[in-house]
Amino acid sequence: MNKGEMFNPKVTVIIFSYNQVDFIDEAVQSVLDQTYKNWELIISDNGSDDGTQEKLKKYKGIDNINLMLYESNGRITIRYNEAIQNVSGEYISVLYGDDYYLPEKIEEQIACFSNLSDEWGVVHGPGLTLDQATNKKVFCGCSRAHGENSLKDILLDFYSIGFINPVSPLVRTECYRNYPSYEDLFTEGESLYLKFALKYNYFFLEKPLVVMREHQTNAGWFGKSNIEILDACLERLPNFKEFPQNSYKPLNKLRIRNYAQGAWENVRLSNSMDSSWARSRLYKSLKLDYFQILRIKFLLSLFFTFLPNPLLRKINQLINILLKKKTQPYFDERPIE
């Protein structure tokens, strides 16, 4: 019997849901249908009021399924840490209530871990994106971070290839215990994987094993709050003693890009541009890199911040027509915290 055949660790799948009544059953079923059978399922519902919790109650009492149904909506980072406290598996796989796994997801990733040393903390890869309106699936690329320089890879890949696919990774439980979520932030999102890469190697598996759904109720993007959360996560990263020297330069590059990109998105996508907010971001990027002043996009962003909102909206509409761009949903503030 080879090592792979003997390797049968327990995996904890955590489903985080909020108002996903139309999709939650498919998410749960995708876990039940896994070809790998040594798993437990924790379902953390963050105060849904659309009937999701009523659907979930049918799973109460089923072996290996633990329901954590909250009465009110709270910070996602707190829900993460509370769920981790109830984990008994050696590995964790996170899923969101409107996405789902392909049947062999856990089995193939466990097979990878069976041949890896303890220095490897994450097996991840790309996924598929399902357009709920057209029922079409397309390949969705992501960071190809792999090996001992995984943190550097993630930082460099962020705006070029993409970030870590949020529902793809299978992660050693110790990663979550060593690097808990920041509870002062509403959510940490994929930035959590930056912290794991401080200490652990990533293994990139080419095959897409997850499906993320695009639908009308998840179309809104909270531009300002999300970009500020990423700011905070990037600013805190060098405070860890494990932060590697070779990642300072790509980290600084990403911080500059994030400041500038946040400003650009606010002047281009928001219906009510926050000119002082956008301008302050441009100044922050300039403080980290004076050569930003030579970039056309920087100068254009700065110029837009001095325009009145009604005029800027008309300019943006004209740009979208000329470039044949669709209007992207964008919200200045997150409605629930």
Q: Name the residue ranges covered by the structural domains of the chain.
A: 3-218, 223-323
Predicted TM-score (pTM) of the model is: 0.91
Check if the beta carbon of residue 43 is closer than 8 Å to that of residue 59: yes
The encoded tokens of residue 213 equal 């759904």
Per-residue model confidence as pLDDT tens digits over 168-178: 999 999 999 99
Query: Residue 114 — pLDDT band, cuts 50, 70, 90?
Result: very high
The encoded tokens of residue 69 equal 């149904």
Query: Residue 332 — pLDDT band, cuts 50, 70, 90?
Result: low
Q: Distance between CA atoms of 103 and 25, rounded to whole angstroms?
A: 15
Q: Average pLDDT in the 215-242 region?
A: 84
3-state secondary structure of 335: coil
Check if the beta carbon of residue 5 is closer than 8 Å to that of residue 110: no
Check if the beta carbon of residue 68 is closer than 8 Å to that of residue 86: yes
Query: Residue 221 — pLDDT band, cuts 50, 70, 90?
Result: low
Query: Residue 132 — pLDDT band, cuts 50, 70, 90?
Result: confident
Check if the beta carbon of residue 252 is closer than 8 Å to that of residue 62: no
Q: Distance between CA atoms of 278 and 328, rounded to whole angstroms?
A: 18
Q: Distance between CA atoms of 13 and 170, rounded to whole angstroms?
A: 9
Q: Average pLDDT in the 38-62 region?
A: 96
Question: What CATH class is the domain 3-218?
Answer: alpha beta
Place of tokens 């200045």: 332
> What percent of the chain lies above the pLDDT cut of 70?
94
Burial readout 88-127 (b: 16 or more C-beta within 10 A, e: otherwise): ebebbbbbbbbbbbbeebbebbbbbbeeeeeebbbbbbbb
Q: Distance between CA atoms of 301 and 305, rounded to whole angstroms?
A: 6
Query: Residue 66 — pLDDT band, cuts 50, 70, 90?
Result: very high
Check if the beta carbon of residue 16 is closer than 8 Å to that of residue 46: yes
Within the chain, strands assigned E span 11-17, 39-45, 65-69, 91-96, 100-101, 120-124, 127-131, 136-140, 170-172, 201-204, 210-214
Q: CB within 8 A of 253, min separation 6: which ones?
A: 155, 156
